[in-house]
Amino acid sequence: MASPVHMRQRAKAEWRCVSLTLVGRDLNPDNVSNTLRIRPDDSARRGESFGAKRKTKFGLWSLDGRPSSGRIHTQMKNLLQRIEPAGKELRRMIDAGDVDQAYMRISFQPSSGIAVAERVLPAELVAGVTSLGIDIVISVNMPQYFEAL
């Protein structure tokens, strides 16, 4: 059995990130913010620089899970608390085609030496996300790949 110190070191080697992203060819982030009454953590209009100085081909509007050091379900819950009050407006935007894609990305990297990585997504959180018309994307980053680079 691993010692508490070893468990803390292993937990530090792991990382987790949850974000909510709305994408649309003609999506205007300012309109999304005004409609939802929520300020995004990141946004870009089509043709603007985004990320590593790339010009985006789509309009983007996104929220980050907080705290970034939190567990996946904590970040999901925090995102839902931020977006649920505007759920009807979000659903209308999706149904009207103003938003081409709406997804919650759950990314994590397990500790080195882990052969199988699994995380449980609580049913009530999954139901809350999908009831708003938001898809869930899961991205697992394997540390062995990055250590080899």
In tens, the pLDDT along 89-133 reads 999 999 999 999 999 998 887 766 666 667 788 899 999 999 999
In tens, the pLDDT along 58-73 reads 999 999 987 767 788 8
Confidence band for 82, pLDDT divided at 50, 70 and 90: very high
In tens, the pLDDT along 27-54 reads 999 999 999 999 999 999 998 877 666 7
- Phi, psi (degrees; rounded to nearest 5) at 36: -85, -15
For residue 3, pLDDT over 60 is answered with: no
What's the pLDDT score for residue 48? 87
Q: What is the pTM of this model?
A: 0.80
For residue 11, pLDDT over 90 is answered with: no
What's the pLDDT score for residue 30? 96
24 by Cβ neighbours in 10 Å (0-12 / 13-18 / 19+) ranks as buried
For 46, other C-beta atoms within 10 Å of its C-beta total 16
- Measured CA to CA in angstroms, residue 56 lies from 19, 34, 51, 103 at distances of 18, 21, 9, 17
